[in-house]
Structure 1
Amino acid sequence: MAIEVRAATRFADVKTMVGPKRPDANVCWCLSYRIPSTQNNDLHGTARGDLVKKLVAQKPPPGVLAYDGDEVVGWAGVHPRADTTFARNRRIPHVDDLDVWSVWCIRVRPGHRGEGISHRLLAGAVDFAREHGAPAIEGYPVDNRGKKVDLTMAYVGTRSLFEAAGFTEAAVTDSVLNGFPRLLMRFDLN
């Protein structure tokens, strides 16, 4: 399997990964950490997809996609922290004043899980941030200590995934997801 990770510039592929089956369904579209909660709550029907279509057209786009040949098999939301809700999140601290990037969502399509794609997505997110001049990239995974994480909450990643990619723990947080504490893990790019 030759997985290639590329910038998320094709809306149809982003929609495959994070969009609903029904275009008017009120689901995340990976916007929960990307835009302020008031704006997120005001989006209804097809407005979420319309916003994601605009974000995909921007430079830089809102994340990276993994492909197995021509088939999209994974997504990672990654962008400058200043453009996310992590810029103002009281439960996840800022380690310093660097203009770091955040990776907040890693998703692999059913039928492709267990093939190492999340590792490739995280490596691709690191490369994407580096290519855009980020001094460092952060993630906020759960510290599940090897215990099973509910699939609906696994999108933040696990400590072991981030450690395998070269991230180190930079801070503990006050955030908890699925009963597990979240860590602030960082990969310095300088």
Structure 2
Amino acid sequence: MNEPHHNIVCFPLTPDRWEDLVRLFGPRGAYGGCWCMYWRLKRTEWSRQCGKENKRALQSLVDAGNVPGMIAYADGKPVGWCSVAPREQFVSLERSRKYKRIDPKRVWAIVCFYVAQSHRRTGVTVALIRAACEYVRSRGGRIVEGYPVHPQGKIRDVSAYMGTKSAFVRAGFIEAARIDDQRAVMRMYLDDEETMFSEMSD
């Protein structure tokens, strides 16, 4: 197991950091040419443009001034990524029966993580979640959601691309709903009064 890393800093992905993300994702675009476009596109679109076209689509978002997520650094090197945006920007998530909305509230969603193999299990994911929440707060958001896996045993890293429940708990999230026996909807209420109310209701 890698040692915990305490010198992690995270920033919104802006055009000046694009090449850092390219270096982090490598030639496979993180996972199989995804370039973190899996939830942003309809499944047919995502499959059709897997690889270079997905990369181009993500870069276009960044170049247009959108912030599709947070990038983490350790000792000046890019080591992790998470995707965060208003939920309605994730087309496939909105169309999903499994991940259907649990209420009509406006939420931001954290849907994807990628951490360099050398820095997995060192606290990068938790740092990214916390940084994403601070970014959402700065943009006026009030609720942040994640849909992590809660494995009963050991799983492959790629199977935890939406994060693990334990990481979200360490970042201060609470379980808002159960999706199935291995996955939950986790929420952070950035309004303290609403957080207290939710915790009392559980």
TM-score scaled to structure 2, two decimals?
0.82
Partner of 2:148: 141
Distance 1:44 1:129, change over 3 A: same
Partner of 1:78: 84
Distance 1:95 1:59, change over 3 A: farther
What is the Cα deviation at residue 42 of structure 1?
2.2
- Where do 5+ consecutive residues of structure 1 fail to align? 175-179
Task: Give 1:74-113 correspondences, 5 Å limit.
Answer: 74-84=80-90, 85-113=92-120
RMSD of aligned alpha carbons? 2.0
What is the one-letter code of the residue matched to 1:187?
A: M
Q: Which moved more, 1:33-42 or 1:47-56?
A: 33-42
Task: Give 1:38-49 correspondences, 5 Å limit.
Answer: 38-49=44-55
In structure 2, how many angstroms separate the alpha carbons of the residues matched to 1:93 and 1:21?
A: 29
Task: Give 1:11-22 correspondences, 5 Å limit.
Answer: 11-21=18-28
Contact in 2 for aligned 1:73/1:112 (Cα 8 Å): yes
In structure 1, how many angstroms separate the alpha carbons of the residues matched to 2:66 and 2:121?
A: 29
What is the Cα deviation at residue 28 of structure 1?
1.0
What is the Cα deviation at residue 64 of structure 1?
0.2
- Where do 5+ consecutive residues of structure 2 fail to align? 1-5, 192-202
3-state SS, counterpart of residue 172 of structure 1: strand
**Is 1:58 aligned with 2:64?**
yes
What is the Cα deviation at residue 45 of structure 1?
4.9
Partner of 1:186: 187
Contact in 2 for aligned 1:168/1:186 (Cα 8 Å): yes
Q: Which has the higher strand share?
A: 1
In structure 1, how many angstroms separate the alpha carbons of the residues matched to 2:97 and 2:76?
A: 40
Question: What do residues 119-166 of structure 1 show as CA deviations (whole Å, max 9, x unaligned)?
Answer: 111111111111111120100001114x21211112111111111111
Distance 1:47 1:136, change over 3 A: same
In structure 2, how many angstroms separate the alpha carbons of the residues matched to 1:65 and 1:50?
A: 18
What is the one-letter code of the residue matched to 1:184?
A: V
Partner of 1:167: 173
In structure 1, how many angstroms separate the alpha carbons of the residues matched to 2:25 and 2:110?
A: 15
Q: Which has the higher helix share?
A: 2
**Alignment length, in residue pairs?**
182
In structure 1, how many angstroms separate the alpha carbons of the residues matched to 2:45 and 2:172?
A: 34
